[in-house]
Amino acid sequence: MEKRKLGRGNLEVSALGLGCMGMSFSYGVVHDENEMISLMHKAVDLGVNFFDTAEVYGPFTNEVLVGKALAPIRDKVVIATKFGFNMKPDGSPGWLGLNSRPEHIKLVADASLKRMNIESIDLFYQHRVDPDVPIEDVAGAVKDLIQAGKVKHFGLSEAGAQTIRRAHAVQPVTALQSEYSLWWRKPEAEILPTLEELGIGMVPYSPLGKGFLTGKMDDTTELGKTDFRSQLPRFSTEARKANQSFVNLLGDIAKQKGATPAQIALAWLLAQKPWIVPIPGTTKLSRLEENIGAASLKLSVADLAEINDAISRVPVEGDRYPEHLEKMTGR
């Protein structure tokens, strides 16, 4: 698989990464540890070297899993994790609010290093912007960690353009991780131009619309109570029924190209900018292989124009997050 540089930060990674959250968290299914380790090893065999986790995934268990899986091949991979929440004392899922105080960031870094059994974190993201802590203080804390050799690169997640600028002025930001896909294109208005100007890479999470753009879900799909998508307005039964036309259109385009809807969605993202690296998550080998196939699918200017024209005619029903989660983004 081709490599890409995340902005001007000289962090070179595979064109597609692997989001590991779903292996331990959010989708209501407990997966076999050995199967997940095997899947990560297969990803490396297929050219993936960029793995994404966070302390909040589990909590903590996903970092442990990723660290265990990648320990034998640590020199071949790039590991990204995140800070920014107060975790529950009993270790149960969820969090007790945001916390990006400098002293807390440094404690989280040490804990993440220990859980993953690594000497340095390749890319350390602020998971969500904390309105109670100046972003300059956050960037300064990560700068200290970089100087101490505990972190190599600084990242932000779901931050607004002005926050990105202020952070970057203190410690260069290597990458912004935010949702971006064919059915969430808000970053195009202000975020992508800011990143291009500053030389910052973009790491889209949920590039397949949390699974909906694969074409394997519809309004009859049962979402369990522990599946976090059941809380999202865009995944209500009514919204999924209304959004089916969007996926059908993607399927028609995919047939023309001899590809799958997921591959078109990922190839479209890869074609937007050379510094964009999507991180689709999966727990299935067949899906991993399908997603990786998108890296070799080239869309022409005419293909992109056709996709953009077709998609622009299909409205998307439902907000991506409920209000209490959406207000944590774009700060």
Catalytic residue numbers read 57
Type and span of the H or E element at 82: strand 78-83
Exposure on the CB side of residue 93, measured as CA atoms within 13 A = 12
Q: Are 119 and 71 in contact (CB under 8 A)?
A: no
Tokens of 80: 């990204």
Cα distance between residue 136 and residue 156, in whole Å: 12
Q: Label residue 10 exposed, middle or buried (CB < 10 Å: 0-12, 13-18, 19+).
A: exposed
Which DSSP category does 60 fall into? T
Query: By C-alpha distance, which of 123, 13, 124, 114 is closest to 67?
Result: 114
What backbone torsions phi and psi does residue 288 show, to the nearest 5 degrees? -60, -50
Q: Are 40 and 18 in contact (CB under 8 A)?
A: yes
Q: Label residue 257 exposed, middle or buried (CB < 10 Å: 0-12, 13-18, 19+).
A: middle
